[in-house]
Amino acid sequence: MKTKKIFLIIIINLFCLGLLYLDLRLKDFFIQHPDFYRGVFFDILFFKFKSNPYIALGIKINYGAIIFFNFLILIGLIYFLIKKYFKLEYFYILNLSLILIGALSNLIDRLNHHYVVDYISIPWWPVFNLADVMIVAGAILILIQELKIKKQK
Residues labelled catalytic: 118, 132
C-alpha separations of 112 from 35, 105, 115, 123 in Å: 20, 11, 8, 28
C-alpha separations of 60 from 72, 105, 119, 122 in Å: 19, 20, 19, 21
Q: Residue 80 and residue 73: Cα distance in Å, rounded?
A: 11
Query: Dihedrals φ, ψ of 34, to 5°?
Result: -65, -20
Of 6, 109, 107, nearest in space to 51 by CA: 109
User: Which distant-in-sequence residues (6+ apart) come within 8 Å of 66 by Cβ?
Assistant: 55, 110
